[in-house]
Amino acid sequence: MIGQQVADSIERRSGVSLWRQIADRILQAIAIGDFAENAALPPEVALAERYGVNRHTVRSAISALVQEGVLRAEQGRGTFVLSRKRLSYPIGARTRFSAGLQGQTSERHIVLLSSSIEPASQRVAEGLGLARGADVMRLETRGEADGRSVSRAASWFDARRFAGIDEAMAQTGSITASLARFGIDDYLRQSTVLSARHADAADLADLDLQPGAIVLVTVAVNVTPNGQPIQFSESRFPAERVELKLSAL
Amino acid sequence: MIGQQVADSIERRSGVSLWRQIADRILQAIAIGDFAENAALPPEVALAERYGVNRHTVRSAISALVQEGVLRAEQGRGTFVLSRKRLSYPIGARTRFSAGLQGQTSERHIVLLSSSIEPASQRVAEGLGLARGADVMRLETRGEADGRSVSRAASWFDARRFAGIDEAMAQTGSITASLARFGIDDYLRQSTVLSARHADAADLADLDLQPGAIVLVTVAVNVTPNGQPIQFSESRFPAERVELKLSAL
DNA sequence: TATAGTTGTCTATATCAATAGACAAATCTG
DNA sequence: CAGATTTGTCTATTGATATAGACAACTATA
């Protein structure tokens, strides 16, 4: 047994079904590296014993992961790991989507899903240093790497200062490039608050997740080098595909 | 409706029961501040309609939260919010347990649960810059603030250099103070990797959580100012009680 | 080519999760 | 006090979850 892999049992009558808990464990074991890519999982009977459940329950977990494209089951041979480990997404003073994932993926970009102008809510106004109710431009975006959805975010900008930033985003596919059109050559991450929760219906659809998945949530403010807030954002990352690596810049 | 509170619906046949999903939503709404302390929740029928479920399902969610000490239900009057918002736990180059929570709580300390000497696993050895299998001291600790469990961690130290650090921890209740006894006046956080998952059986017991809860997981390395690794740790935070605030120091 | 080991399928049963409806009990308001 | 609002309790029914056992289908290997 590698590391301090705890032989933790499973919780009953928890509101989370046993098959989902086991699927979570398997996903995590893969992400941690307990199972190499293309390696065979232990046979169903062994897993059932290890988790203290019926073989059929293990089968439910596995079939969910097969559906999800993480595993491949072959009758008579075994069940094999397909999926890669989690992407490691760096967060620090200079967080950039594409720069951060360099080397880990061959292709990545941001897709603009929608944009709208709305009055600033309390927290958006605070984050951007505007009056509550002031016009803000809201961009809904999805980050993709190698065809997998790795993030889903809402960003808010001062609608007056950054009028037309939605078009810039659609054209460039990059926040950094879009801000450059408004004379912002550099920006820093001022603050990041991190939490986690179950994915809601919107997350499931946008990030192509299975129900019951967990998302990491960051709420952040980007500022110019001299401290003026320019972007307030809430991003959601699928915990099964992404981990956040904090660099203290 | 405050902010962009999405009226997101609930996922069926997800492996996560509806009542648990709704309990999660309510917890989150409280943590975000949608419901003030002592405020009344909307009546059960209203919640049922809002989430598109039966009233009994909402009642299951509420009774779980009552059990958990987050809500208080009073017949004829309504259901009220007891719990505080989430603690905001700072993470940066100088992360210290007690220093970080200053101002948010009146009382906090670290409890040493157990200690042992074991051979270093792969990742511990890498983190501490030791040979795999070298003796390391492992400390299991729980962080408490105002009587609530807010973290659960395993820490590893070079057993030769820090022989007896377990006793120091037991006496001082502080990592910083214990390290000082070994001539470490200052240390920095070199790296932090962040992920999230469902709480396992050990987490549930240690952090006094209800089954189905989510934990934030950080894996970190602390180093001396000149870069020598001294501590490798894996910490788990209950997502419903704690958020992590990243400071780019 | 046997045989052991593995995944796939079927039937049956018990428990949990969710819906539905009705009414009691407590509280608040006019 | 009367009526409206809200939580608490009960019964009944349906579907999802989990267990149990048996056997078929396929694969690898001695």
- Contact state of B196 with A196 under an 8 Å Cβ cutoff: yes
- Range(s) within chain A of domains with CATH label 1.10.10.10: 18-81
Distance CA B14, CA B28 (A): 19
Question: How high is the pLDDT of residue B158?
Answer: 95
Q: Do B191 and A247 touch (CB under 8 A)?
A: yes
pLDDT higher for A32 or B197? B197
- Mean pLDDT confidence for A88-101: 53
Q: Which residue has the tokens 């880990």?
A: A104
Mean of pLDDT values over B173-187: 85
What crossing angle do the helices spanning A18-32 and A44-51 adopt, rounded to 10°? 110
Contact list, A100 vs chain B (CB under 8 Å)? none
CA of B40 to C1' of D3 (A): 22
Taking 50 as the threshold, does the pLDDT of residue A171 lie above it? yes
CA distance A15 to chain B (A): 5
Q: Which residues of B touch A244 (CB under 8 A)?
A: 193-195
Q: How far apart are CA A27 and CA A131, in angstroms?
A: 44
Query: Is the Cβ atom of A45 within 7 Å of strand C at any atom?
Result: yes
* A195 against A107, higher pLDDT: A195
- Total count of residues recorded for chain A: 249
Looking at residue B14, what is its pLDDT? Answer: 76
Output the pLDDT for position B32: 66
Q: Share the mean pLDDT of chain A.
A: 81
List protein-proximal bases of chain C (any atom < 7 A from a CB). Answer: 5-10, 16-21, 25-28
Contact at 8 Å (CB) between A87 and A77? Answer: no
Spacing of B60 CA from C12 C1' in Å: 30
Question: Is it the case that residue B246 has pLDDT exceeding 70?
Answer: yes
Confidence of residue A5 (pLDDT cuts 50, 70, 90): very low
CA distance A239 to A198: 10
Q: Which of A187, A26, A103 is nearest to B248 (CA)?
A: A187
Q: According to the model, what pLDDT value does residue A108 have?
A: 62
- Nearest one of B119, B82, B87 to B106, comparing CA atoms: B87
pLDDT for B1 beyond 50 = no
- Whether residue A193 and residue B246 make contact (CB cut-off 8 A), yes or no, is yes
The answer to whether A73 CB is within 7 Å of strand C is yes
What is the predicted pLDDT for the residue at A43? 93
State residue A80's pLDDT score: 93
Which position has the higher pLDDT, A211 or B100? A211
State whether the beta carbon of B19 lies below 7 angstroms from any atom of strand C.
yes
Mean pLDDT, residues B93-103: 46
Closest C1' nucleotide to B51's CA: C18
B158-180: average pLDDT: 89
Average pLDDT over residues A209-213: 76
B229: three-class secondary structure by DSSP: strand
Report domain A18-81's class: mainly alpha
The pLDDT of residue B85:
64
Q: Which of B87, B114, B195, B235 to mutate to test the interface with A (most CBs of A within 10 A)?
A: B195
Per-residue pLDDT band for B223 (boundaries 50, 70, 90) equals confident
Cα–Cα nearest to B194, from A215, A150, A106: A215
Q: Is the pLDDT of residue A52 over 50?
A: yes
Q: Which residue is nearest to nucleotide D28 (CA to C1')?
A: A77
The pLDDT, as a whole number, for residue A158 is 95
Q: Which residue has the higher pLDDT, B48 or A85?
A: B48
Quick one: pLDDT at residue A101? 42
* pLDDT at residue number B111: 87
Shortest distance, CA A109 to any CA of chain B (angstroms): 22
- pLDDT at position A95: 47
Bridging pattern class, strands B87-91 and B78-81: unpaired
Question: For a pLDDT cut of 70, what percent of chain A falls above it?
Answer: 83
The C1' atom of D27 and the CA atom of A80 lie apart, in whole Å, by 15
Residue B61, CA distances (Å) to A196, B18, B26, B57, B208 in order:
19, 8, 9, 7, 18
The residue among B27, B91, B137, B194 with the most chain A CBs within 10 A of its CB, best to mutate, is B194
pLDDT at A6 over 60: no
Measure CA to C1' and name the residue nearest C7: A75
**Portions of chain A given CATH number 3.40.1410.10:** 87-246
Number of Cβ pairs < 8 A linking chain A and chain B: 166
Per-residue pLDDT at B176:
83
B87-246 CATH: 3.40.1410.10
Q: Closest nt to A78 (CA→C1')?
A: C6
pLDDT at A1: 26
Instruction: Compare B166 and B88 and report the one with higher pLDDT.
Output: B166
Question: Chain A partners of B216 at a C-beta cutoff of 8 Å?
Answer: 194-196, 216
